[in-house]
Structure 1
Amino acid sequence: MSYADRVFIDMCRDILENGTDTSGEKVRPRWEDGSLAYTIKRFGVVNRYNLAEEFPALTLRRTAIKSCTDELLWIWQRKSNNIHELGSHIWDSWADEEGSIGKAYGYQMGVKHEYREGMFDQIDRVIYDLKNNPYSRRIMTNLYVHQDLHEMRLYPCAYSMTFNVTKKKGSDGLVLNGILNQRSQDVLTANNWNVCQYAVLMHMLAQVCGMEAGELVHVIADAHIYDRHVPLVKELLERKPLPAPEFWLNPEIRDFYEFTPEDVKLNNYETHEQIRNIPVAV
């Protein structure tokens, strides 16, 4: 069975059995009909995925790998904050009339900062350090910029990555590991989407920096299941996990800025039926 399925099942059961129900409390999100969107939540969920062993895509339902890769590249590679430059419509509810989500996500990735070695944006600095200072303990990104929060249409959910390079025992080959920090996550709609995105990112960065992808650690401060999602999650928990797919990344690409969604594939990806028309709280 897929390891990602096992992690997801255990996490959801823990949330449902041991989580805090926010019903009746003061909450921000609302459903499309205007009613308050309550959750069952767990604090401080930590999930670990060894990317050298398995790609962490769910089989309980399909994760659209090309769409989630496109969104990842929209933020990390194109450094865009305009939904018209994104293939999917998942950000439509947060964009203004011109398609902008304000100074959020890709905007922050494109801001240049001054370092001793010169001016870099956050992505270029990560790549520079991985190639030149791989054992640095300062290789990280941050999207949660307080001075710009008032100009963001949505505060960043997955807000920082910390990279750390190790070696396999008995080998000189470098291994790229990463910690994804997330302040809040809608587990049904976004958990595996984010996990797959950052697993793809780890593989891409490892390849262009001459490394192998290692561990992805996902830290979620507030992992929650919305009230209207509970029956859908319970339906997923009844499904039998299937074998994990095989990950393929175009081996010809050596420049991070040349990757496209077409350079990523999940071979032998067998899944259960997709759950459609999932309500999204805004």
Structure 2
Amino acid sequence: MSYADQVFISMCEDILENGTSTEGEKVRPHWPDGESAYTIKQFGVVNRYDLSKEFPALTLRKTYIKSAIDELLWIWQKKSNNVNDLKSHIWDEWADEDGSIGKAYGYQMGVKHQYKEGMMDQVDRVIYDLKHNPYSRRIMTNIYVHQDLHEMNLYPCAYSVTFNVTKKPGHDKLTLNAILNQRSQDILAANNWNVVQYAALVYMMAQVCDMEPGELVHVIADAHIYDRHIPIIKEMIKRETYPAPKVTLNPEVKDFYEFTTDDFKIEDYQAGEQIKDIPIAI
């Protein structure tokens, strides 16, 4: 069993046993057939993953790690808000006729801000601080920009990352840790997808800043299981599990903007049967 499996099973059991239902309440999400999409939810879920021990991929079912990383690079590297720059089609429901999702996600990452060191966007500021001021407690990004919310086709779910650097006794390199803050998460569709994305981000940032990966802490304000996902989740968490896959980076890449999904090597990834046609609330 991977550690990600342990976390996922425990979280799902807690939501199912102790969560609260939104059934009958006024909710925004709906199913493609027009029915309201209700949830069982848990407030304030915090999951920790030690990236120095293993890559946090589920084995209960396969997570398409490279597709998840492609979306992460779409936001953090390409700084794009156009689905035509993305290999998968997960954003198509929220794109306009030109492929834009509005001033969301990658758009916000690409906005330059004035600092005393000059004009930089949020990604470049993170890299600059990790290299020049690693012990700063101000190394963070935030894409939940209130003044632009009315021009976003979907408000950001994972909206903020805070990086924190520590020095482990006996280690030559500094350790890079991160907290991912998420206002809302569809546990079945997106939980491990987001976890592997930001684990990969820590891997990449650590490598280009000559550090080693440490902890990823995932904070979810509203962790929910949709009503039509409940039987799927109940079946899934009873499945056989396997050891975590080994995920390594191409050590030659030293520039964050040169990474591609091909620079991730995934070995020994054994997982349960994929769950097809998961209904997605919109």
Same fold (TM over 0.5): yes
Deviation (angstroms), 1:149: 0.2
SS in 1 for 2:165: strand
Deviation (angstroms), 1:170: 2.5
Letter in 2 for 1:198: Y
The aligned residue for residue 132 of structure 1 is 132
Is 1:65–1:265's contact at 8 Å kept on the other side of the alignment?
no
The aligned residue for residue 267 of structure 2 is 267
The aligned residue for residue 26 of structure 1 is 26
The aligned residue for residue 214 of structure 1 is 214
SS in 1 for 2:58: coil
d(CA) in 1 for partners of 2:272, 2:171? 39
The aligned residue for residue 195 of structure 1 is 195
TM-score by structure 1 length? Answer: 0.99
d(CA) in 2 for partners of 1:171, 1:117? 31
Deviation (angstroms), 1:264: 1.1
SS in 2 for 1:223: strand
SS in 1 for 2:55: coil
Percent of residue pairs identical = 74
Q: Which runs of 4+ in 1 moved over 6 A?
A: none
Letter in 2 for 1:114: Q
d(CA) in 1 for partners of 2:124, 2:175? 19
Deviation (angstroms), 1:169: 1.5
Matched, 1:178 2:170: no
Deviation (angstroms), 1:266: 1.8
d(CA) in 1 for partners of 2:169, 2:18? 38
CA offset digits 1:14-57 (Å, max 9, x no partner):
00000001000010000000000000000000000000001000
Deviation (angstroms), 1:213: 0.5
d(CA) in 1 for partners of 2:270, 2:171? 34
The aligned residue for residue 72 of structure 1 is 72
TM-score by structure 2 length? Answer: 0.99
Point out where structure 1 has 5 or more consecutive residues left out of the alignment: none
Supply the RMSD in Å over aligned alpha carbons: 0.5
Letter in 1 for 2:195: V
Deviation (angstroms), 1:233: 0.3
The aligned residue for residue 86 of structure 1 is 86
Is 1:59–1:270's contact at 8 Å kept on the other side of the alignment?
yes
Deviation (angstroms), 1:2: 0.4
Letter in 2 for 1:17: E
Letter in 2 for 1:27: V
d(CA) in 2 for partners of 1:185, 1:145? 19
The aligned residue for residue 61 of structure 2 is 61
